[in-house]
A and B are shown apart, each in its own frame.
Chain A
């Protein structure tokens, strides 16, 4: 008889994998702002997330403990002196997804840190959103993130978005050993102390990437936000096997030599949904009659709503995440702790790759909070984020097929995604070659005065950002043999992207089997909640 420890491990490893049998229930999956309920072929491997880890029992105590017992640095209170200049940088609205219920964990951290700063006689404090080339957050979003009291005390003069295009707002430091430009926000560079408040949704985030990308400019981002770096990354969700992270580490180490940076990183569990859509957190085998009723009611209600209203409704569903860990101190040892906790939540061991992998595509990505998941973002979700949610070995075999479910509507938000529209309509019909796009057009878009203006004064992503979205899908694009958009409501979006389309998931699976062979193995990754496959070959 196997020892209990081995049996428990076996159970832990395998309870997240379900092999579809004849009587298996249909699977619920996102189809943009709708749900599909689909029977999958017998033998399909369904990969489910781990259940949510338990949150820390007392968040304030956990934050206080972390800043008083940091990794590789003195406690925060010991770093503070009256009259010093401090910049607190914050992750932006791209994290977490969906946005969390208030109070946001960033608010909880700030309440403690700002009180400590005030008690220590530190009055020169600025809060800077580390949005890099992302859109500026709106006033309402900024208020929601930090709460009314902090907002009233700091906004707008001492609480603002980073501006990567402010000619006087960026300082260039020495270059890395690989000649990478190191540039950061002037206020941060000239501060006696930078405190970075991170919220870690996926292992790609945090660590050296926080300051090195969040507070930098286009010239510095070019070092790693390029097609070759992504091609050279086995998965950018696994820092140890990511060229992207090697570059950000080199940049971050230069920053750490010039600036004192105290990181406060937080991890959250994967409790992304609760009632009335709590069924999304369950395996279909565990559905009660009431869950099925809610699902059907929800589907019915969605079928009666225009898309814009559905979108609005979904963006009003906030996630009841719980904080699972708070870690503080120097960049690398702090982030190592964060990664361990992150993997504890997300990592799901899987035996072997599949010929065909199916993803349900949700309505949200990091770049369309309160906006539209446009075709480029559908691409970055399919071939970027979902493909890369692995620990270095992709779930889909080389030359295999990715199927995702989304209408692929040709809709863009002109306020947030103006440069995306030109990229999609003008550049992609000319070429899908990421290297060509980079060399021929990236700088034109990045320097386009209208796009710079919309980024700085409006709420638009930077002109270089659609290129990054395309590059983010580059290792997926190089790896797979075919992409099928199941349920695409038009021909031209999949055609521009280089994908096939089908009306239904069954047709997509048939086509994929035609491509890979009748005996092709199939996996369905049941996201949400988020998981990261740890494929063992």
Chain B
């Protein structure tokens, strides 16, 4: 899968997920590479990535933009989905915006998992949406200096 940005990811688990961080806009972009949103992926996002976000931005009072490229995902573990929703809930105070990009051909099974999570978070007034094209959000980042 082609990386979303030319520069090297800031965080990475080879063959599983890549993460880029953009300091000027406090934006985190992740790109899942495998077909499953399993415990390994979720633990990486809610563990290592979260720790780095805390260190860089959240501890300094900055609100974060979360852009998730999950187009490769075709299955998930129910427990993992719940952990991600929980992570979304506790991140409410420092979420500026969040978007989840699914493949246009994603199954109803995947789409509903995302829609369910988004519905829960939106009820908490967290600005999150499901999109099928991240490009409009990524393009401005490509022209900026990396973090």
Contacts and interface: CB of A to CB of B under 8 A. Distances in A.
A422 B112 contact: yes
A414 B115 contact: yes
B123 A457 contact: yes
B123 A453 contact: yes
Contacts of B119: 414-415, 418, 454, 458
B120 A425 contact: no
A410 interface: yes
B109 A454 contact: no
A425 B107 CA distance: 9
Contacts of B81: 450
- Interface residue tally of chain A, by bracket? 10 to 19
A421 B85 contact: no
A421 B119 CA distance: 14
Given A422-B113, A448-B82, A453 B120 contact: yes
Nearest to A441: B78
Interface string B64-83: 00000000000000100110
Contacts of B113: 422
Interface in A55-70: none
Given A418-B115, A425-B107, A458 B123 contact: yes
A368 to B, nearest CB: 16
Interface string A430-458: 00000000000000100011110110011
Contacts of B123: 453-454, 457-458
B137 interface: no
B85 A450 contact: yes
A412 B108 contact: yes
B116 A414 contact: yes
A450 B117 contact: yes
Contacts of A5: none
Contacts of A450: 81-82, 85, 116-117, 120
Contact of B112 (A421, A444, A448, A458): A421
Nearest to B79: A444
Contacts of A444: 78
Contacts of B112: 412, 414, 418, 421-422, 425
Interface residues of B, number: 16
Nearest to A452: B120
Interface in B119-137: 119-120, 123
A448 B107 CA distance: 21
Interface string A405-426: 0000010101100100110011
A361 to B, nearest CB: 21
A410 B111 CA distance: 13
A454 B76 CA distance: 20
B80 to A, nearest CB: 12
A448 B86 CA distance: 11
Nearest to B81: A450
A426 B109 contact: yes
Contacts of A425: 107-109, 112
A418 B81 CA distance: 14
B86 A418 contact: no
Contacts of A426: 78, 109
Contacts of B115: 414, 418
Contacts of B120: 450, 453-454
B85 A449 contact: yes
Contacts of A457: 123
A404 to B, nearest CB: 22
A458 B119 CA distance: 8
B42 to A, nearest CB: 14
A415 B116 CA distance: 8
Nearest to B118: A414
A418 B115 CA distance: 8
B91 to A, nearest CB: 16
B118 to A, nearest CB: 9
B78 A421 contact: no
Contacts of B107: 425
Contacts of A453: 120, 123
A454 B123 CA distance: 9
Interface in B25-52: none
Contacts of A448: 78, 82
A451 B78 CA distance: 12
B1 to A, nearest CB: 24
Contacts of B78: 422, 426, 444, 448
A418 B109 contact: no
Contacts of B108: 410, 412, 421, 425
Closest 8 CB pairs of A and B: A425-B109, A421-B112, A414-B115, A418-B116, A450-B120, A457-B123, A453-B120, A450-B85
Interface of A: 410, 412, 414-415, 418, 421-422, 425-426, 444, 448-451, 453-454, 457-458
Given A412-B112, A425-B112, A449-B82, 14 more contacts: A415-B119, A418-B116, A421-B112, A422-B78, A422-B109, A422-B113, A425-B109, A450-B85, A450-B116, A450-B120, A451-B116, A453-B120, A454-B120, A457-B123
15 contacts: A412-B112, A414-B116, A418-B112, A418-B115, A421-B109, A422-B78, A422-B113, A425-B107, A426-B78, A444-B78, A449-B86, A450-B82, A451-B116, A453-B123, A454-B123
